[in-house]
Amino acid sequence: MHRRLQLVLPFCLLFLCALPSGATQTEAQATVEKLHNVLLETMRQGAQLGFAGRAAKLAPALAASFDFETISRLTTGRYWAQIPTDKKREFIEVFTQLSTATYAANFKDFDGERFATRAQEDKKSAQLIKTVLIKADGKEVSLNYLLAKAQGKWRIVNVVAQGVSDLSLKRAEYTAVIGSEGIDALIAKLKAKVASYGH
């Protein structure tokens, strides 16, 4: 028994030495997996919670796992610098509400789905966590999350579903609206979207 311990101990020490770089990776992965767990819980209770209940359950989880400020900065592209501070705040707020409403509308029932983390890659100072949503029939939907560290926490800045980047889609749409109609029009459209999800 002692002999076995002696054999195993050096490997344990090696593992501990490897931890510092591995630890940050695990944090990014933990952020995504925590979100996935809340999504599954919400789906399981979907019908009894209703839209408002699902949104209330998801809001704190999304606020903890997404970096909405960076996302807002990136979706408005080159226009961000020109947007007045109070409008920036309003935009971040409505964008956060929109994300919550979108998740509440789409993760509404449970049909045997599960999530699995497949890989983790360094992307400069960001981390890419590659996951899949596995449906009951075995079909997989790839969900890749790009995370950045801000205020000591790893948070999601982009979700790429089956190759389609949420950030790029929104960026294309939002910059087009700001360019032709201005930030106020964009905020109004997003508010209308949020309202439409509740019905």
Partner 1 sequence: MHQEMKIKAAAGILIGGLLAGCASTPTSPSAESPDPYEGMNRSFYNFNDSIDRNFFEPVARGYVKVTPDPVRAGVTKFFGNVGYINIIANDLLQGKGGQLVKDTGRFVVNSTVGIGGLFDPATSIGMPEHDEDLGQTFGTWGMGEGAYLVLPLMGPNSFRDLPNSASSMLLNPLTYLNAVVTLPLGVLNAVNTRANLLEASSIRDQAALDPYTFVREAYRQQREYKIYDGNPPGDGFEDYIEDKSDAAILKIY
Residues that bind partner 1 (CB under 8 A): 70, 73-74, 77-78, 80-81, 102, 105-106, 123-126, 137, 142, 146, 148, 157-158, 162-165, 167-169, 171-174, 176-177, 186, 189-190, 193, 197
The CB-of-35 to partner 1 minimum distance in angstroms stands at 19
- For partner 1, the closer of residues 42 and 158 by Cβ is 158
Q: Which residue has the tokens 């360019």?
A: 179
- CA torsion 142-172-55-38 (nearest 10°) is 30
- For partner 1, the closer of residues 88 and 193 by Cβ is 193
- For partner 1, the closer of residues 47 and 185 by Cβ is 185
The CB-of-76 to partner 1 minimum distance in angstroms stands at 9
- For partner 1, the closer of residues 26 and 168 by Cβ is 168
Q: Which two tokens stand for residue 8?
A: 């195993």
The CB-of-38 to partner 1 minimum distance in angstroms stands at 21
The CB-of-176 to partner 1 minimum distance in angstroms stands at 6
- For partner 1, the closer of residues 9 and 161 by Cβ is 161
Nearest of 35, 182, 186 to residue 98 by alpha carbon: 186
Could you tell me what percentage of the chain is helix, strand and coil, using 3-state DSSP and rounding each to the nearest 5? 65, 20, 15
DSSP string, 174-192: HHHHHHHH-HHHHHHHHHH
Q: Which two tokens stand for residue 183?
A: 């930030």
Nearest of 133, 102, 138 to residue 32 by alpha carbon: 133
The CB-of-9 to partner 1 minimum distance in angstroms stands at 39
Positions of E strands within the chain: 114-123, 126-134, 140-150, 153-161, 164-165
Q: Which residue has the tokens 């699995």?
A: 116
The CB-of-124 to partner 1 minimum distance in angstroms stands at 4
Q: Which two tokens stand for residue 164?
A: 């389609």
